[in-house]
Amino acid sequence: MSSNNAMFLTRFEQDLNEQKINELYFEYKEKIYGLVLSYVKDNYLAEDLSHEILLKCYLTRNRFNGECSIPTWMHRIAINHCIDFLRKRSRQRELLHEQIDLLNQKELRTPEFEAITSCDKEELRSKIKQLPLKYEKVITLYYIKERTLKEIEQDLNIKLPTIKTRLFRAKHMLREMY
């Protein structure tokens, strides 16, 4: 690290009082939010992740070595955080699909498999029953009773976008329970 960078980092750390932190936060929050939104495509989630990223930048500020600009450093942290989040969410989604597949599976192979599957199904049913009623109905009709979205629309007398939203939210709630 050059002496100029060392001097910059020392000055940066000394000048980093609460007012400066607030200024940095307000200066970069919209930029970080826009970047995160381009990855996750959900306003509320982007807002939450933006706050996490800005907090992460603050907590890891001592790792900033001055080899790049602060915006570049924060941008890189934001991208890595988004990629990690999406990977984690993808794994959780796969686990949820496996659980739902187990619930829908008709054939039983061995007594041991039957016992394990029974426990898994019971746990998933228990988690589904913990959902608010409007989400429980939609997820039960779609995954357990294998109704189409159009059939659910007719049965519950609610619009298709509402059904899709409720399915999405119900799956999200189930993921959080696991």
Q: Is 116 helix (H, G, I), strand (E, B) or coil?
A: helix
Share of the chain above pLDDT 70, in %: 78
Mean pLDDT, rounded, for 79-96: 84
Average of per-residue pLDDT values in the chain: 80
Q: Which of 49-53, 66-70, 138-142 shows the lowest per-residue confidence on average (mean pLDDT)?
A: 66-70
- Distances from the Cα of 139 to the Cα of 64, 143, 164, 176, angstroms: 46, 6, 10, 15
Q: What is the pLDDT of residue 1?
A: 47
In Å, how far from its chain's centre is CA 137?
23
CATH number of 105-177: 1.10.10.10
Best CA proximity match to 50, nearest among 61, 60, 38: 38
Supply angle C-alpha 62, 63, 69, rounded to 5: 100
- Distances from the Cα of 37 to the Cα of 26, 40, 44, 52, 87, angstroms: 17, 5, 9, 14, 16
More confident: 39 or 176 = 39
8-state DSSP, 61: G
Q: Domain limits of the chain?
A: 3-90, 105-177
User: Would you place residue 157 in the very low, low, confident or very high pLDDT band (cuts 50, 70, 90)?
Assistant: very high
The architecture that CATH gives domain 3-90 is Orthogonal Bundle (1.10)
